[in-house]
Structure 1
Amino acid sequence: MLGQPHFGRRLKRLRLERGLSQASLVGDGMSTGYLSRLESGERPPTERAVAYLARRLGVDPGALTGPADERSLTGVLAAVSSAPPGADDTAALSRAVAEDTGEDPAARWQALWLLSRAAGRDGDHERERVLLRELTDLADTLGAAELRARSRVRYARCTRALGDLCAAEPAAVAALSIARAEQLSVSDTLPALMVLISIETELGRLETAGGHVEELERDLVPRAAPAQAAEGLWTAAMVSSRQGDHAAARSRLDRALGLLRGEDDLALWTRLRAAATAAALQMSPPQVAAADRWLSEAASVLDLVGTPLQRQELHALQAHLAFHQGRFEDARTLSRALLQDEELRLSYRDRVRLKVLDGRLEILAGRVDEGIAALRRLGRQAAESHHLDLAAHVWQSLATALADVRA
């Protein structure tokens, strides 16, 4: 016989599918209190109760007690969890979520978590945001502090990637508040603080971000696992770079990269090298030699096993590196190929930076008016969307490009 709580969930689903209240289902042969305890999983079903309820529902007793349907959300989740590495089960999981009757909110939360992670990995942030909205609401219903914090961290990261800092900031603040109030572990508190620091930096609040970096390095990084400690140091390096302290930024990047070996976590090892490349190229002056070395290490992995999004990010970094190495035609070829790709998956920030590069290349190629117009448009758009750090980068790039032309 199907055990609890699965029996109760199936019983409730069959009752609701027939539009029956508890009272109308039990009739005179069973109390509503007993039925309620059966549906909640508090009481195991007896054979007599199963036979009676099956007659009232108009089904065979096996419909109540048979094995769990492997096509149910729980069954599909089990198949996905046990699938070999590299298997893509998102289509089956999406169908199961669409057909789910909501009997097991925890299973639905797990399914939405897996689907949103897959969407983010593919660069489909609009789809990811839809899933994360439901995920966040479901976490609140379940009431688990860890789920509430984690869903908000993911939502903050997703909306930041879309360029919606007005939605990202309150989600990050809420995640950190939950982590602190519930005294969650470092593994939950650190991601919440990191995403908040990144958002504050993009909003131009460098003093506030710097204060949070002090807390991060003092209280969290020393107690974090190597992978999270490395991400924390990389986040701190970004703030140092924006503050103009490039020596501190380089020191933090070197420490972060030294914490991981490829065999520890190849995906994170690669991602940190790509992130360090971007940071090195944004320093003043750009650390071109270090960027070249780190990007070569990342490319050796991403060219083989990278996702479409990761390969686009790699090509964007290669375009920026080519520009700083004076290989302007290579930079133009790479940037134009990406910007003309109908399936461009880059985040809002990476897209803008790539368009800025394209504008600078226009100016250097002699199409000064076109390049200036493009950069001015990007600067206004960044400022209007509250990306003050990005707007500053646009205007600085315009000034540098004009100075290069004059020189």
Structure 2
Amino acid sequence: MSTPATTLGQRLRALRAARGLSQADLAGAAVSASYVSLIESDRRSPEPKVVELLAERLGTTVDYLLTGRDRGELSERRLRLRFAELELADGRAADARERLVELARDADAELRTEALWALVRAHEALGELDSALDGLERLIGAARRGEAVPVGLLPLLMRRCRLLSEAGDFGRSIDLGEQALEEVRGLGLEGSDDEIRLASTLVASYWGRGDLVTAQRLATRVVERAERNGSARARGSAYWNAGLVAEARGDVVLALGLVEKALALMAGEDTERNLARLRMTLAWLLLRAEPVDLARAGHQLDEAYAVFTRTANAGDLASCETEIARLQLLSGRPAEAAEVAGRAMGRLSARRSVEHGRARWVLGLALVADGKAADGLVECRTAAEELQALGALLEAAQAWREIAELSIGHGPAESVFEAFRKAVDCAGVKAPLPLPNRRQTAG
């Protein structure tokens, strides 16, 4: 079996032999036979005019001699990329992924990076976060090498920070996010829109880990820079994540004001998906307000779910279904809440994520409310353990605290004490040192 021609010289020699031409025949009067020999042995790179002349004599194209593909083949591959992007936009991420896997290995650098960027988004839509992160690392490496990528380095760093946080890897999200911020500021880009949005994403990572002091400090600085220099989209991003921190610190009224302001600023400025995610955050806050605003939360969730259904992003759909289940639970429909929470878990069955733990938590609460306390407490404990293992310590502490309350009257006192102890552990309170006895202190 013959080896495929992989260099210009090899392609030139193969075509010449196929045409039955000698090196002298191909050279003609324009170049020497020895020069053709040097090109075929890859010891000389011909000038563009010589490539054009040789392509004409061999009845081929310059594109084929330079890349091994003719213009028609390259156009066909670009068409396949466009079809994949249409499938992705139409919510058919699995179909898009099949096309994109091959295109992401393409020899044409520009086509390869465009396909890889689309493939990252397809993996994300399907909930395949590890594969999405692998693709992002390749794109970030290409951007750092100065290669052309479909989006800038900062948006890639921002997306990596967010996906690591969604996967529950808060430590790595924070470490890489801080490194990225130092790099950006070293380039003199502090206060730019991309820097503000990157810092806002980092705020969410600190919030997810339960480090509210650092999250609050960073959120305050980001909001100040955004109000001074940022666009409407950047200010909205800053307010959005500052709202998460305000809720965690117990100020739901402030959190609602910040998120509502973000929604007003970002309407028409951001993607449909981001706006839907912001509406879901607003609904999440409305379900925690006093009094709970069920009607308005339901409206926001309906708007968001319609968008997520079209885009078919597994993570978005699961997050929205978790909040819909919470709404149904608060509306006195625990059986329906359990069904929807179970559906959300099913969407995330192949992925280890904080969102899976949140969905399981709502399922557990729904089962308890539906009179199935034993089964519900098992789900709640498993959810709390998931959240704790993933590093979502604030949410885990809140879960263990509520489990302790739910366990009263439904189990032995030891289970109540154990839940309280785990809540304290997640909150970062260290166990006391053992007191010395008299024998140890006697002089």
TM-score, normalization: structure 1?
0.76
Query: Which residue among 342, 349, 357 is the counterpart of 1:352?
Result: 357
Alpha-carbon separation, structure 2, partners of 1:219 and 1:118:
33
Contact map agreement 2:322 2:358 (CA 8 A) in 1: no
Alpha-carbon separation, structure 1, partners of 2:86 and 2:356:
37
Alpha-carbon separation, structure 2, partners of 1:337 and 1:194:
31
Which residue in the other structure is 2:421 paired with? none
Does residue 248 in structure 1 map to residue 217 in structure 2?
no
Q: 1:37 to 1:205 in 2, by over 3 A?
A: farther
Does residue 205 in structure 1 map to residue 206 in structure 2?
no
Unaligned 5+ segments in structure 2 are 13-31, 412-443
Q: 1:297 to 1:405 in 2, by over 3 A?
A: farther
Does residue 64 in structure 1 map to residue 70 in structure 2?
no
After superposition, where does 1:179-328 map in structure 2 within 5 Å?
Answer: 179-184=184-189, 186-261=192-267, 265-282=271-288, 286-299=292-305, 301-302=306-307, 305-307=310-312, 309=314, 310-328=316-334
Alpha-carbon separation, structure 1, partners of 2:376 and 2:396:
16
Alpha-carbon separation, structure 1, partners of 2:408 and 2:301:
28
Contact map agreement 2:240 2:258 (CA 8 A) in 1: yes
After superposition, where does 1:5-404 map in structure 2 within 5 Å?
Answer: 13-15=7-9, 29=35, 44-46=48-50, 50=54, 61-62=60-61, 63-64=64-65, 67=71, 69-70=73-74, 76-77=80-81, 86=90, 89-98=96-105, 100-101=106-107, 103-104=108-109, 106-142=110-146, 147-184=152-189, 186-261=192-267, 265-282=271-288, 286-299=292-305, 301-302=306-307, 305-307=310-312, 309=314, 310-339=316-345, 341=346, 344=349, 348-402=353-407
Q: 1:387 to 1:13 in 2, by over 3 A?
A: farther
Cα drift, residue 133 of structure 1: 2.4
Partner amino acid for 2:139?
L
Partner amino acid for 1:116?
V
Partner amino acid for 2:100?
L
Contact map agreement 2:252 2:288 (CA 8 A) in 1: no
Contact map agreement 1:162 1:347 (CA 8 A) in 2: yes
Cα drift, residue 318 of structure 1: 1.0
Contact map agreement 1:302 1:311 (CA 8 A) in 2: no
Alpha-carbon separation, structure 2, partners of 1:236 and 1:269:
16
- Post-superposition CA distance 1:261-300 (Å, at most 9, x none): 469754333221112112333457755454234224434x
Contact map agreement 1:336 1:358 (CA 8 A) in 2: yes
Contact map agreement 2:167 2:353 (CA 8 A) in 1: yes
Percent identity of equivalent pairs: 19
Cα drift, residue 373 of structure 1: 3.7
Partner amino acid for 1:313?
S
Unaligned 5+ segments in structure 1 are 1-10, 19-25
Cα drift, residue 196 of structure 1: 1.0
Cα drift, residue 115 of structure 1: 1.5
Q: 1:64 to 1:123 in 2, by over 3 A?
A: same
Alpha-carbon separation, structure 2, partners of 1:354 and 1:87:
23
Alpha-carbon separation, structure 2, partners of 1:347 and 1:290:
31
Q: 1:36 to 1:115 in 2, by over 3 A?
A: farther
Alpha-carbon separation, structure 2, partners of 1:199 and 1:240:
14
Which residue in the other structure is 1:6 paired with? none
Cα drift, residue 157 of structure 1: 1.7
Cα drift, residue 328 of structure 1: 1.6
Alpha-carbon separation, structure 1, partners of 2:352 and 2:232:
26
Cα drift, residue 355 of structure 1: 0.9
Q: 1:80 to 1:178 in 2, by over 3 A?
A: farther
Cα drift, residue 16 of structure 1: 8.0
Q: 1:402 to 1:152 in 2, by over 3 A?
A: same
Cα drift, residue 350 of structure 1: 1.9
Q: 1:84 to 1:97 in 2, by over 3 A?
A: closer
Q: 1:81 to 1:265 in 2, by over 3 A?
A: closer
- RMSD between aligned alpha carbons? 4.1
Contact map agreement 2:381 2:400 (CA 8 A) in 1: yes
- Post-superposition CA distance 1:149-195 (Å, at most 9, x none): 33222222222222222332222222222222223473321231122
Partner amino acid for 2:253?
A
Cα drift, residue 147 of structure 1: 3.5
Contact map agreement 2:177 2:198 (CA 8 A) in 1: yes
- Post-superposition CA distance 1:196-227 (Å, at most 9, x none): 11111111211111111111111025533333
Q: 1:191 to 1:260 in 2, by over 3 A?
A: closer
Report how many aligned residue pairs link the two structures: 377
Alpha-carbon separation, structure 1, partners of 2:303 and 2:114:
34
Larger radius of gyration: 2
Partner amino acid for 1:279?
L
Cα drift, residue 260 of structure 1: 4.2
Alpha-carbon separation, structure 2, partners of 1:154 and 1:16:
42
Partner amino acid for 1:140?
R
- Post-superposition CA distance 1:220-271 (Å, at most 9, x none): 2553333343232111100111111222111102212222446975433322
Alpha-carbon separation, structure 2, partners of 1:318 and 1:83:
27
Which residue in the other structure is 1:21 paired with? none
Partner amino acid for 2:329?
F
Between 224-233 and 68-77, the greater mean CA deviation after superposition? 68-77
Q: 1:221 to 1:287 in 2, by over 3 A?
A: farther
Contact map agreement 2:280 2:301 (CA 8 A) in 1: yes
- Post-superposition CA distance 1:28-52 (Å, at most 9, x none): 52789xx89958xxx5333587469
Q: 1:363 to 1:170 in 2, by over 3 A?
A: same
